[in-house]
Structure 1
Amino acid sequence: MLCRTASDLYWVARNIERAENTARLVDVTLRIAMLPERLDRGKAEAAPWRRALDALGIADGFAQRHGAIDAETVLRHLLLSPDNPSSVYRCFRDAREQARAQRVAITSEMYEDLNTSWLEFRTLGWPRVRSEGVSSLLEWVKGRSASFRGVTIGTLGRGEGYHFLQLGAFIERADWAVRLLDVIGSEADLPETGEARDAVEYFQWSALLQSLSAFEMYRRLYRESVIPRCVTELMLLRPENPRSLQTCVGTLLDVLQTMAGGERMEAVRLAGALSAQSRYALIDEVIGDGLEPYLQDTMARLSALGDEIHRQFMVSLDASQTQSQTQAAT
């Protein structure tokens, strides 16, 4: 498969997955923002939205460009901004353009599904979003992502194109499995008193589960109230969760091994190390050693894996083509 085709398919899947996860980020932030606070009201209302921007690593840049952080400005930036690579608008637009460039590598049903999503979304403006409700838009985005995923599974042959789509989807989903844990905030955000602290903590972690469509799954797997330890385990280490870190990196490893065909590849090694770490880790050890260092290390390793996938499959072919052309010219 040509390097350009591999890259476009990889990013089609990443962008659709990113659009869905941005919608889930907005969902959990909206839920947390509804929680009554006990500090200065203006500061309290801004805190969840700053944490959402922090989870994306864009809080400082956003503040420099837009000034004070408030709900409406952040919502418009995450949903409708053409300049934000993580906005739903930008993800749908880029995914559609990448799919259009590779129409011969995907099915007509896949392209029509993406094209429909983009044509519907680009007509939206903030007044319409506000009048119809942000929550309705978020559900629509998640539905369109699920639609594309279903059409892909149901119509595309299991060749190289399908593998690159899987790589893009699952490395993006793995990154967000880690990133969304940052939205809840730190211990400093919780009340000092025991009863109030427990209530706020329960609400925040329940909101995270609901935004991930995982509340019922949590209830089936854990016979206790919603607590941070169990939610963290569900998001990172439980194979039953289709969006957990372990599920995602395990799928990445399987796909990369298939593509390697027995050949030794650095991308396979990196994915294998991540898969082994998540498979054999214990949540008590992760929390005991410090959750934040674990999350930062995992994100760095996922980034390294993404870079290696790009180098192995999307750059080396260009280099070999350039070398062949040079040799032919001489």
Structure 2
Amino acid sequence: MLSRTADHLFWMSRYTERAENTARMLSVQHETSLLPQSAEVSGQGWQGVLSISELLPAYSARHGAVVPAKVMEFMVLDAGNPASIVACLKAARENARAVRGALTTEVWETLNQTWLEVERPSRKNAFRRHPGQFFEWVKFRSHLSRGVTLGTMLQDEAFHFLRLGTFLERADNTARILDVKFHAAADEFFGSGGERDREYDFYHWSTVLRSVSAFEIYRKVYRDVITPERVAELLILRPDMPRALHHCMNGVVHKLQQINADPDRDTTRLAGRLQADLRFSRIDEILATGLHAFLTRFLDRVNQLGAGISRDFLVSNGTAAAVGQ
């Protein structure tokens, strides 16, 4: 396969997954902001969403003070923000258009229709009236795209690069969602541990679980009250939880093997070490050394892994084929 084609496929899936995960992260904060809390706490939550997405400087330069409505507009509809949902869906569609011949008709039509719909004024007005419903629509379109890919594409190299991009982006975004919630609330939730805190925080942690479609899974696995420690364990260390970091890294390593990645390459070795760290870690050890430090290091290593994949398999000489990259 041509490296340029692989590059477009890889970034097509990453942008689709990124749009979905941005919707999930905003949905978490939007639902959390509806709970009883001070304006200061709410503002910190919205600032945290911008910070973990590395968008706070860009937002501040354009809008100044953090205002929830402006943050959502900036992260959803602002075409000038390359990480907004609209920009990601456009980039996914443009990358798909560049490699139209490598996709099935169903995959192309799904991505194209998603872009056409999100551009309609009625869809944008619907977002402003009912943000929660819009976020659900974005997640549904991403599910549809992924399902059509799995159900119609030949499982050749093109398919493997698509799935590789999905797993890598999902790992990155799950870690970011966790870091937003846990880092901002570390002292409060792992400090006093009083009865009042546990009752109040049930709604926060259940919202986090729902943001990654894990609420029912948590109940099935633990059959007990929701605690921050178990939420972290489920979303980091469970190999059978679809959005857990461990599951995503299993997928990355498996796809690298299927595209015949050299096991002695630094990229393949880094992926294997990440997978091994998650396989053999324990949540009490992670919490003892600091969850924020663990997630920050994980994100750094995932970024290194993405750069290595680009260097080894995708467009060479630093030339980015991905539209909007």
TM-score, scaled relative to structure 1: 0.90
Change (3 A) 1:256 1:317: farther
Change (3 A) 1:236 1:272: same
* Match 1:130 to one of 128, 131, 135: 128
Partner Cα separation in structure 1 for residue 153 and residue 28 of structure 2: 33
Confirm whether residue 35 of structure 1 aligns to residue 35 of structure 2: yes
> After alignment, is 308-317 or 14-23 more displaced?
308-317
Q: Deviations over 1:266-314 (max 9, x none)?
A: 2211110000000110001000111111111101110000000000011
Equivalence for 2:185: 186
Equivalence for 1:26: 26
Q: Write the mapping of 1:39-58 to structure 2, written as runs, cut at 5 A.
A: 39=38, 41=39, 43-58=40-55
What displacement does 1:46 show?
1.6
Equivalence for 1:276: 276
The DSSP-based 3-state class of the residue aligned with 1:171 is: helix
Q: Which runs of 5+ in 2 are unaligned?
A: 320-325
* Match 2:156 to one of 156, 159, 179: 159
What displacement does 1:186 show?
2.5
Answer yes or no: is the 8 Å Cα contact 1:51–1:182 preserved in 2. no
What displacement does 1:189 show?
5.8
Partner Cα separation in structure 1 for residue 103 and residue 261 of structure 2: 23
Change (3 A) 1:193 1:14: closer
Partner Cα separation in structure 2 for residue 127 and residue 262 of structure 1: 49
Partner Cα separation in structure 2 for residue 245 and residue 123 of structure 1: 35
Equivalence for 2:254: 254
The DSSP-based 3-state class of the residue aligned with 1:260 is: coil
Equivalence for 2:285: 285
Partner Cα separation in structure 2 for residue 259 and residue 19 of structure 1: 26
The one-letter code sitting in structure 2 at the alignment partner of 1:186 is: A
Answer yes or no: is the 8 Å Cα contact 1:80–1:87 preserved in 2. yes
Give the number of aligned pairs. 315
Partner Cα separation in structure 2 for residue 315 and residue 265 of structure 1: 17
Q: Write the mapping of 1:84-95 to structure 2, written as runs, cut at 5 A.
A: 84-95=81-92
Answer yes or no: is the 8 Å Cα contact 1:27–1:138 preserved in 2. yes
Partner Cα separation in structure 1 for residue 179 and residue 293 of structure 2: 12
Q: Write the mapping of 1:115-264 to structure 2, written as runs, cut at 5 A.
A: 115-124=112-121, 126-131=124-129, 133-184=130-181, 185-188=184-187, 194-260=194-260, 264=264
Answer yes or no: is the 8 Å Cα contact 2:172–2:299 preserved in 1. yes
Q: Which runs of 5+ in 1 are unaligned?
A: 320-330
Answer yes or no: is the 8 Å Cα contact 1:29–1:183 preserved in 2. no
* Percent identity of paired positions between Structure 1 and Structure 2: 39
The DSSP-based 3-state class of the residue aligned with 1:306 is: helix
Equivalence for 1:311: 311
The DSSP-based 3-state class of the residue aligned with 2:240 is: coil
Q: Deviations over 1:170-217 (max 9, x none)?
A: 000000121101221223566978233223322211110012111000
What displacement does 1:127 show?
3.6
What displacement does 1:59 show?
1.8
Partner Cα separation in structure 1 for residue 151 and residue 137 of structure 2: 21
Change (3 A) 1:291 1:112: same
Answer yes or no: is the 8 Å Cα contact 1:2–1:317 preserved in 2. no
Change (3 A) 1:199 1:255: same
Answer yes or no: is the 8 Å Cα contact 1:9–1:165 preserved in 2. yes
> After alignment, is 98-107 or 62-71 more displaced?
62-71
> RMSD value over aligned CA atoms?
1.9
TM-score, scaled relative to structure 2: 0.92
Answer yes or no: is the 8 Å Cα contact 1:79–1:89 preserved in 2. yes
The one-letter code sitting in structure 1 at the alignment partner of 2:305 is: L
Answer yes or no: is the 8 Å Cα contact 2:118–2:124 preserved in 1. no
Confirm whether residue 79 of structure 1 aligns to residue 76 of structure 2: yes
* Match 2:98 to one of 98, 101, 113: 101
Which structure is richer in relative contact order (CA contacts within 8 A, separation 6 or more)? 2
Change (3 A) 1:69 1:261: closer
Answer yes or no: is the 8 Å Cα contact 1:256–1:267 preserved in 2. no
